[in-house]
Amino acid sequence: MSLAQAPEELQKKFIELGFKKMWINKEFQKFSKTFEGKIDENDLSVPTKDFIASIGADQVEAKVFQFLFDGNSDGKVAFDEVLQAYGFMETDDMEVQAKLFFGLIDKDGNGMLSRIEMKQFLAIHHLNDGSINPHYRQ
């Protein structure tokens, strides 16, 4: 099955945030073309490593992209996350950026950040800044 358009609810969600329907569907077509036959149709996701490989990132970039596109760190990049990440880079509206960023780290999508979600976010963030905890340094 190949879908020509992004699912209705996703379109609605991003149109409400101020994005154009055309942009949403263009991104969707790119996504479904790039990962044809690899997309898990239950949640429109692909394995994070495949996604990262497709943008040809080096090792350092890969970590950043992993954080950006798989904010909930479940090892999969869902199309929802792709839109959130690209939308985040696309918009200059701070309020929309904040919402998208929040959506990326709200793993269960219940609109609240639990202690666990917060911990995951901080853990990933700490991994990505490349610094070594001075307590462990000899």
Q: Which residues bind Ca ion (CB under 5 A)?
A: 70, 72, 74, 76, 106, 108, 110, 112
Nearest-approach distance from CB 30 to Ca ion, in angstroms: 18
Distance CA 90, CA 88 (A): 6
Specify the residue, 18 or 75, whose C-beta has the smaller distance to Ca ion. 75
Q: Is the distance from CB of 45 to CB of 78 less than 8 angstroms?
A: yes
Chain-centroid distance, C-alpha 88: 10
Shortest spacing between CB 4 and Ca ion, in angstroms: 24
When the beta carbons of 52 and 76 are compared against Ca ion, the nearer one is 76
Q: In whole angstroms, how close is the CB of 71 to Ca ion at the nearest point?
A: 7
| H or E element that contains 46 | strand 45-47
Residue 110 or residue 133: which is nearer to Ca ion going by CB? 110
Q: Cα(41)–Cα(5) distance, rounded to whole angstroms?
A: 13
| Minimum CB–partner distance for residue 84 and Ca ion (Å) | 10
**Alpha-helical regions (H) of 35-58:** 48-54
Closer by beta carbon to Ca ion, 50 or else 74: 74
